[in-house]
Amino acid sequence: MGMNITYDTPLLTALEEVAPHDHLSLVYESTDDHYSVAIPFIQIGLDRGEKCIYIADDGSEAVVRDAMHARNIDVERAVATGGLVLETKEGAFLKHGSFDAEWMPTFWKEATAQAMQQGFSALRATGETEWVLCGAPGIERWMEYESRLTQVLDGLNCFALCQYNRQILPPELVSDVIRTHPTVIYRGVVCRNIYHVPPDEFLGTNQAAREAERMLTTIRERAEIEHTLRQQRNELRALANRLMHTQDEERRRIAALLHDTTAQDLAALKMLLAKLDRAADRLSDSERKALAQSISLVDQSMTEVRTVSYLLHPPLLDEAGLVSALRWYASGFAERSGIKVDLDLPESLERLPRETETMLFRIAQESLTNIHRHAGSETACIRLRRQAEMLALEIEDRGHGIPRASLKQIESGGGGVGVGIAGMSERTKELGGRLEVTSSDHGTTVRVSLPLVAAAG
């Protein structure tokens, strides 16, 4: 009976998605490259309750068994129950002393029918192919067989992974392998093969003309895909920018609402409580205690509302500009987090467009938040400098740095590294600037460079 197992790497996840009728090739260059695909391919089939056939080259069965044991496959039990068959090239391909391309479809049909009769959900097969270089009779039709196998599997509850050692096999053969398999696995990546040639074309006449047509079609389709991807990327960037602008305006609106409405209501409530407090001598002890607690709660609520309002959108940013807002925020952040924040800011800086000041302030705010949550640093530093025609903002810490995998994603502009960093990058690009993140075991620096022409609007 099959087991529901979840695989947690991109390669294994892709192998798990392989299904009956699929015809795949594995082009490998090392033993690790080889068995990191071939053995999980079998393991997944055994977990699913499929019958699995592994066709080994001469002298390699013991190595295959060891590789299966290394992945915790109970080879002896799987063989005993019929779920795993370790086959030789003679048993699979050279039953009649030669390779018979006409008979091979019958072999796979009979093997699949037998697997289904035995109660297995499908037949899964994989085979090594170095033996094809030995010159067995009929082997000259091997690539014809590979091409036709795609059509054969299409009508069977069976799928096959054909293994090819690129270090040993001639380039011409590897090229034909690519052309005859709809899916190619190379260097740990399962790829839909854009170079696959349908059997009727691969085995037909006038191949040069068909190849030229196919290449031209592929070039055109790839260009169309790249154009579509660029359009979608630009649309996503524009949407992200609109969302960020909307978020800023919503923060500004909520901050004003808290300040002008909620804070004022609390102030009025405090005045009423103060009026009651002046007549507290007419209250019982419990009533005076409740009144005192109410006044304390109002004071606490006023402080919290004011803090939330200022964090959403500090009024100093509009009233006094970026430098004053950074000084205010750094002071409050240090008090709340216990992280010492050093400031290297100009004494004065001309006012910048509102969206530029907001963008730079948000980047500093997001960076300090990341330092508090992730860096493990006791200190941080904010630098703002005007350099010739550039405005440079740096936020630095002395923490343990960003994990290497996450840093690579950041450097490549990839996803999965958090909305904060992606948002900072998009904010900077929108205004013609550049955001860089450098990190090591000694800390992280977020650096923003913005042309003053763009900054000045």
pLDDT confidence of residue 72: 94
Q: Provide the percentage of residues in the chain whose pLDDT is more than 70.
A: 93
pLDDT mean across residues, the chain = 87
* Whether the predicted pLDDT of 415 surpasses 50: no
When pLDDT is cut at 50, 70 and 90, the band that residue 365 belongs to is confident
When pLDDT is cut at 50, 70 and 90, the band that residue 418 belongs to is very low
The closest of 343, 205, 318, 153 to 252, measured between CA atoms, is: 318
- Starting from the edge strand earliest in sequence, which strands make up the sheet with 443-451, in order? 340-344, 379-387, 390-397, 443-451, 434-440
Tell me the mean pLDDT in the region 167-188.
Answer: 95
pLDDT confidence of residue 68: 96
pLDDT confidence of residue 349: 83
pLDDT confidence of residue 425: 78
pLDDT confidence of residue 352: 84
The closest of 327, 305, 328 to 255, measured between CA atoms, is: 305
> Rounded CA gap, 453 and 432, in Å?
9
Tell me the mean pLDDT in the region 218-243.
Answer: 86
Tell me the mean pLDDT in the region 442-453.
Answer: 86
When pLDDT is cut at 50, 70 and 90, the band that residue 16 belongs to is very high
Please state the φ and ψ torsions of residue 421, each to the nearest 5 degrees: -65, -40
Higher pLDDT, residue 192 or 320: 192
When pLDDT is cut at 50, 70 and 90, the band that residue 416 belongs to is very low
pTM beyond cutoff 0.75: no
pLDDT confidence of residue 428: 81
pLDDT confidence of residue 453: 64
When pLDDT is cut at 50, 70 and 90, the band that residue 169 belongs to is very high
* Whether the predicted pLDDT of 1 surpasses 50: no
pLDDT confidence of residue 2: 43
Q: Which residues contact 362 (CB under 8 A, 6 or more apart)?
A: 248, 423, 424, 427
Please state the φ and ψ torsions of residue 206, each to the nearest 5 degrees: 55, 45
User: 354 to each of 134, 317, 318, 357, 456, how far by Cα in Å?
Assistant: 75, 9, 8, 5, 10
CB atoms within 10 A of CB 332: 15
C-alpha distance across the termini of the chain, in Å: 68
> Rounded CA gap, 11 and 381, in Å?
42
When pLDDT is cut at 50, 70 and 90, the band that residue 9 belongs to is low
Tell me the mean pLDDT in the region 236-249.
Answer: 78
Q: Provide the percentage of residues in the chain whose pLDDT is more than 90.
A: 46
> Rounded CA gap, 241 and 248, in Å?
11
* Whether the predicted pLDDT of 359 surpasses 50: yes
pLDDT confidence of residue 420: 62
* Whether the predicted pLDDT of 22 surpasses 70: yes
Tokens 């409050």 belong to 332
Higher pLDDT, residue 358 or 85: 85
Tell me the mean pLDDT in the region 61-68.
Answer: 94
When pLDDT is cut at 50, 70 and 90, the band that residue 307 belongs to is confident
CB atoms within 10 A of CB 441: 7
Tell me the mean pLDDT in the region 321-326.
Answer: 90
* Whether the predicted pLDDT of 190 surpasses 50: yes
Q: Which of 41-55, 237-251, 356-370 has the lowest mean pLDDT?
A: 237-251
* Whether the predicted pLDDT of 197 surpasses 50: yes
When pLDDT is cut at 50, 70 and 90, the band that residue 413 belongs to is low
Out of 7-16, 64-73, 303-312, 389-398, give the one with best mean pLDDT. 64-73
Higher pLDDT, residue 147 or 456: 147
pLDDT confidence of residue 409: 66
